[in-house]
Amino acid sequence: MAIILKMKDLRKDSAVMLEVGDEAAGQRVDNFLLKIAKGVPKSHVYRILRSGEVRVNKGRIGADYRLQLGDVVRVPPIRVAERIEDAPVPGREFDIAFEDDAIIVVDKPAGVAVHGGSGVSFGVIEQLRRARPLAKFLELAHRLDRETSGLLIIAKKRAALVKLHDMFRDGGINKRYLALVKGRWLNPTQHVKLPLYKYLNADGERRVCVRDDGKSAHSIVRLVSRWQNFSLVEVELKTGRTHQIRVHLAHLGFPLAGDDKYGDFTLNRELQKTGLKRMFLHSAKLALPHPITGEALALESPLPPELASFIDKLKQHEKEF
């Protein structure tokens, strides 16, 4: 049976012995240590691995060793500066599109981060863990931007997580988003293959741009509806680069309505006055084989009310082309 460790346990003067359970089996030992010793610098974790202070079944191991069910891990005392505990995470359940004993697919609302970090205290995964204290394993299989709504997969078993990661990497999951863009999109279907490069701006914020030395990125854009000043498109992601849809469309001259990073800021101010107070990007469809059973799953999420309402206004006030 696995032992649940808290940071205070690792600060004690003696080593802690931890038996590996289902929730950690198959995980690299370095990632395992980084998870249970949150707040400890990565450099320190790798130092205690190199020095042999961390042992598995009484033997030395490398950072890439994958833990096996029943392994006993010796974790040495880790001394870190005391800090004020963060405010407690409020438990929250989210609308569920699908759930069984291996995965949960939640319908994430806009404005909620998928996880804490970068100025955000907590996100979907922390809130879900707090709402389900008896759940042994809950991990994000992928990510959505904070302002993007829609379908998000969470693994309840490590075996499911590993398989989902493989499927996302190999293109085994069909992901489709609905986006409203400025301008009249003409092509019924268009393949967009533009490399994307990540960088930090002058304020230290993460940004992405199209650049020849970036990573390959492939989006398929299909026209759904078109009005005088806007177009509703469905975007199928063949790769999953950071901000891929937003940057691809903005680079082509079709910025997303409400996008505060890559959008038309003057237009966004006008849209807020007419009721669109968020970015119009929604994870609408997922199709994949179940990571454990192989059963075909086809999941859909309708546009949330605030986005559906704005489309209704477009239909009332603009001519459709």
Residues involved in catalysis: 145
Q: Which helix (H) or strand (E) holds 283?
A: strand 281-289
Closest CA to 244 of 144, 124, 119: 144
Report the alpha-carbon distance of residue 65 to residue 56 in Å, rounded: 9
Token output for 222:
């299909």
Q: Is 98 helix (H, G, I), strand (E, B) or coil?
A: strand
Q: Is residue 248 classed exposed, middle or buried when 0-12, 13-18 and 19+ CB atoms within 10 A define those classes? A: buried
Bridge partners, residue 209, by sequence: 197
Q: Are 166 and 172 in contact (CB under 8 A)?
A: yes
Q: Are 140 and 240 in contact (CB under 8 A)?
A: no
Q: Is residue 98 classed exposed, middle or buried when 0-12, 13-18 and 19+ CB atoms within 10 A define those classes? A: middle
Phi-psi region of 312 (alpha: psi -120 to 50; beta: other; left: phi over 0): alpha
Write the CA distances from 274 to 269, 314, 315, integer angstroms. 9, 11, 14
Spell out a b/e string for 187-217, using b for 16 or more CB atoms within 10 Å of the CB, else e: eeeeebebebbeeeeeeeeeebbbeeebeeb
Q: Are 199 and 287 in contact (CB under 8 A)?
A: no
Closest CA to 240 of 129, 159, 153, 127: 153
Q: Which helix (H) or strand (E) holds 269?
A: helix 265-273
CA 155 to chain centre: 12
